[in-house]
Amino acid sequence: MKILAVVSQKGGVGKTTLATALAVEAVRQGKSTVMVDLDPQASASFWKDTREASLVEGDLAITAVPSSRLPHVLSAAEGAGCDLAVIDTPPFSKDIAYEAAQRADFVLIPTRPAVLDVMAMTRTLDLVKHYQRPYAIALTFCPPQGREVADTVQAIEALEATLCPVRIGNRIAYSRAQQTGRAAQELDASSKAAQEVVDLYKYICIHMYNDVNGGSDNG
C-alpha cells in the first residue's frame, strides 16, 4: 500500500479539495483507496457524508481519526488489502503534519501563488526535507493571467524545492463538485479542472510508483 499525504500548515490552500479529488481519481483508476481524515474540522468526512447520500458504489472508504491512531489505521488498511491511503491534514498543526509526512511515500504540498504563501510553505518544506520524503509543491488557485504564478515559480526555484508542473486553476468547478460530495472530474470529465486533477494524479503516480498508471502490481 502506498501512502499519499496532502500537507500544508496553511489553511484554505486546497488540501481537502485535492486529497478528495485524488482519492476519487485513484478509485476511478481501479485502486482500492482509503482516505484518512486527520483534520478535527473533518471537511473530507463531511464531503464523504454528502457523497454517501447518493450511494456511489465501490467507492473509497474514509476514516476520521486523531493522528495518534494513524499508524494503526494505516496498518489495518494495508492488512485489508488497500492499494492507496490518502491522508488529509489540518492547518496549523505541526505535530499532525509530522505524523502524516513521516509515513508518506509522497507528500503533496498545495500552495497558493503568492509570496507570503511561499514563505509560509517553507515550514512544511522543512518537514518533508527532515524526513527525506519525496514531495512536490502544487500551485493552486492559479489565476488565468497576471504575473503571480511566474513570480511564485521563481520564488520556489530559489528555494530549490520540487515544483509539480501541473497548475491547479482558480475554478468554481472544484467547490461546485463538493456541494454534492463529488470531485471536479466526476461533475464534468471534459472540464479544465477535471484535466488538472487527472494530470496531477498521473504526476504523483510517476513519482510514487515510477509508473504513470500507478503500478501494475497495485503497489
Ligand X SMILES: Nc1ncnc2c1ncn2[C@@H]1O[C@H](COP(=O)(O)OP(=O)(O)O)[C@@H](O)[C@H]1O
Question: Nearest approach, Cβ of 29 to ligand X (angstroms)?
Answer: 21
Residues 110-149 that bind ligand X (CB under 6 A): 140-141
Piece of 9-17, 146-154, 194-202, 204-212 that binds Mg ion (CB under 5 A): 9-17
Helices (H), 131-191: 148-158, 172-178, 184-187
| Cβ distance to ligand X smaller for residue 33 or 124 | 124
If DSSP codes are grouped into helix, strand and coil, which group holds residue 134?
coil
| Cβ distance to Mg ion smaller for residue 41 or 68 | 41
Length in residues, the chain: 219
| Cβ distance to Mg ion smaller for residue 35 or 155 | 35
Output the CA torsion sign for 63, 56, 4, 34.
positive
Residues 39-68 that bind Mg ion (CB under 5 A): 43
Q: Is 15 in the site for ligand X (CB under 6 A)?
A: yes
* Cα–Cα–Cα angle for 37, 39, 42, rounded to 5 degrees: 75
* Nearest of 204, 18, 182, 43 to residue 111 by alpha carbon: 18
- Per the structure block, which three cell numbers stand in for 21? 479529488
Cα 117 from chain centroid (whole Å): 17
Q: Which of 9, 16, 33, 185 binds ligand X (CB under 6 A)?
A: 16
Q: Is 178 in the site for ligand X (CB under 6 A)?
A: yes
- Per the structure block, which three cell numbers stand in for 177? 463538485
Q: Which of 127, 128, 168, 198 binds ligand X (CB under 6 A)?
A: 168
* Interatomic CA distance for residues 76 and 78, integer angstroms: 5
Task: Mark 62-81 with x for binding to ligand X (rule: CB under 6 A) and - for no binding.
Answer: --------------------
Query: Which residues of 75-185 form beta strands (DSSP E)?
Result: 84-88, 106-111, 135-139
Q: Which of 15, 103, 133, 171 binds Mg ion (CB under 5 A)?
A: 15
The one of Mg ion, ligand X, none whose footprint includes residue 124, by CB under 5 to 8 A per kind, is none
Question: Nearest approach, Cβ of 30 to ligand X (angstroms)?
Answer: 25
Sheet hosting strand 2-6, strand order edge to edge: 61-64, 33-37, 84-88, 2-6, 106-111, 135-139
| Cβ distance to ligand X smaller for residue 185 or 209 | 185
Q: Which of 5, 13, 85, 87 binds ligand X (CB under 6 A)?
A: 13
Q: Tell me which residues touch ligand X (CB under 6 A).
A: 11-17, 43, 140-141, 168, 170-171, 174-175, 178
Q: Tell me which residues touch Mg ion (CB under 5 A).
A: 15-16, 43
